[in-house]
Amino acid sequence: MNTQKQFQILADLHTHTVASTHAYSTVQEMAAAAAQTGVKLLGITDHGPGSPDSPHLWHFHNYKILPEEISGVKMLYGVEANITDEFGTLDMDAHELSFCQWVIASYHTACVTFPRTPELVSQGYRMLCEHPLVDVIGHPTTDMFPFDYEPVLRRIKESGKLVELNESSLQWKKGALQNAKTVYAICKKYGIPIVVSTDAHYAGLVGKTPLAEQLLRELDFPRNLIYSLDPAHIIEIAEERHGKRQKP
């Protein structure tokens, strides 16, 4: 089955709340918006401590108090951790990540100082693939972090990580839409699973991915590789990697 028929993502696994200070909605508001757009599984993934606008680490430690379901939407509480160097180092150690149910790892310009050459960015991604707690490689399509697409994407597949197709990047980041055509064509070629996420910083954007959906239709991207269409599978992946959530 392909993507020629219209589809709606059922798992939006990359969103930010007011805890990331350049975002504008609460957890409750994000969940309510997810329910309205048909999202069944919502990932709350505020920025890791390396970002200038990140919450205190206690934000992640205290996830245990939050409900497993809000407004009929199942919740995954995690982090968008920062890759800080060309060695795939994250800004949260294993202890800090142990409080999270879902871990996205992304490069951001504010969090790195090394020369962003394709060789060094590629090395960082390859070494990141060794990290046992990372679930998703976040928004890998911007001009700001060029890398050697084919070998790195194949390594990501081998490591069991997912590649993110990020709606916000497609809309706002230089070069992202054009680069995405290449990245996800390679993912299709090698059967590399992806997740489609909004990276929503405002409740009104949750679950809305028109640019990503159009791109996948143009590529005739296989539905079975779009894990955002299968919330139950995402939960299986999260529990296998991070364990079942501990009750407060």
- What CA–CA distance (Å, rounded) separates 13 from 19? 16
Residue 216 in any domain: the answer is yes
Q: Domain holding 94: CATH number?
A: 3.20.20.140
Residue 58 in any domain: the answer is yes
Residue spans of beta strands (DSSP E) within the chain: 11-12, 41-47, 69-70, 73-82, 103-106, 136-137, 162-166, 194-197
The predicted pLDDT at position 95 comes to 97
Q: How many domains does the chain have?
A: 1
Residue 5 in any domain: the answer is no
The predicted pLDDT at position 1 comes to 40
Residue 176 in any domain: the answer is yes
Residue 1 in any domain: the answer is no
- What CA–CA distance (Å, rounded) separates 84 from 92? 10
Beta bridge partners of residue 83, listed in sequence order: 90
Residue 247 in any domain: the answer is no
Residue 3 in any domain: the answer is no
Residue 131 in any domain: the answer is yes
Domain extent for 181: 11-242
Beta-carbon count within 10 A of 45 CB? 29
pLDDT tens for the chain, residues 1 to 248: 444 446 789 999 999 999 999 999 999 999 999 999 999 999 999 999 999 999 999 999 999 999 999 999 999 999 999 999 999 999 999 999 999 999 999 999 999 999 999 999 999 999 999 999 999 999 999 999 999 999 999 999 999 999 999 999 999 999 999 999 999 999 999 999 999 999 999 999 999 999 999 999 999 999 999 999 999 999 999 999 999 876 65
- Tracing tokens 């996420």 back to the chain, one arrives at 197
